[in-house]
Amino acid sequence: MSLSGENIVFGYHKKPLVVPFSFSVESGKIIALIGLNGSGKTTFFKTLMGGVPLLSGTIKWEGRDLKDLSFAERHKIFSWLPARKVIEERLKVFEILTFSISSDSFREDVLSQMDEVIRLLNLEEFLELPYHLLSEGQKKKVEIAALLMKKSPVILFDEPSVFLDVSNQLELVKVIKNLSLEKGKTIFISSHNLDFLRACADVCWEISDTNIFIDKDIQSAFARYFDK
């Protein structure tokens, strides 16, 4: 599975945030997306999801132009976890996971899928608790678990390490690398936590002054970022 873009420009209200650029991402890759606030990281995610129209160029998934796909079709390909997700506070954790199940899941697959996600994020002891009683770190893990229930091949994380202590950040790094290596997920991570990105990313995309620099050498990418 592959995601590619040719001479793409994204932005808001016909105002471009980047100059035209092209890319190709293979399945199983983890891409760090860095840049100052307002540089366009979240806008890129919204563009992939179909919430913001692409200004120019072409983005393709498995050779299909995204503009030819319906909103529902896009949401089977991409799952996005914003920095702050709104969840009904009174729901219990197992209810949140149940409501997040992919609509095309077979009934016999649902329980095994949920068990796998629960084990992956160590949520066993929280299943019967209402969401509003959880710590901020526990809420973040539940939000990630709900995202994984959708089984999308491309995952978009916006500041996933926020509210997580060091031990939970390390646990999340393991989860993300497992999704990449074992499940073949393509994962974009927008974050200001460079230590977190350094621990899991394969490629770095930096948005700087409307340019996008794509670098497979994470260390050199971060060094360039700090030098500016």
Each domain of the chain, given as residue ranges in start order, spans 10-222
What's the gap between Cα 71 and its chain centre?
17
Instruction: Determine the Cα–Cα distance for residues 148 and 153; give it in Å rounded to an integer.
Output: 10
Predicted TM-score (pTM) of this structure: 0.90
Q: Please report, in tens digits, the pLDDT of each residue of the chain (228 residues total).
A: 789 999 999 998 889 999 999 999 989 999 999 999 999 999 999 999 999 999 999 999 999 999 999 988 998 999 999 877 767 778 999 988 888 876 555 556 777 888 888 988 889 999 999 998 998 888 888 998 998 888 899 999 999 998 888 988 998 999 999 999 988 999 999 999 999 999 999 999 999 999 999 998 888 888 877 776
β-pairing, 203-208 with 30-35? parallel
C-alpha–C-alpha distance, residues 30 and 18, integer Å:
21
Q: Which CATH architecture has domain 10-222?
A: 3-Layer(aba) Sandwich (3.40)
In the sheet that holds 30-35, the strands lie side by side as 78-81, 154-158, 186-190, 30-35, 203-208, 211-215
The amino acid at residue 190 is: S
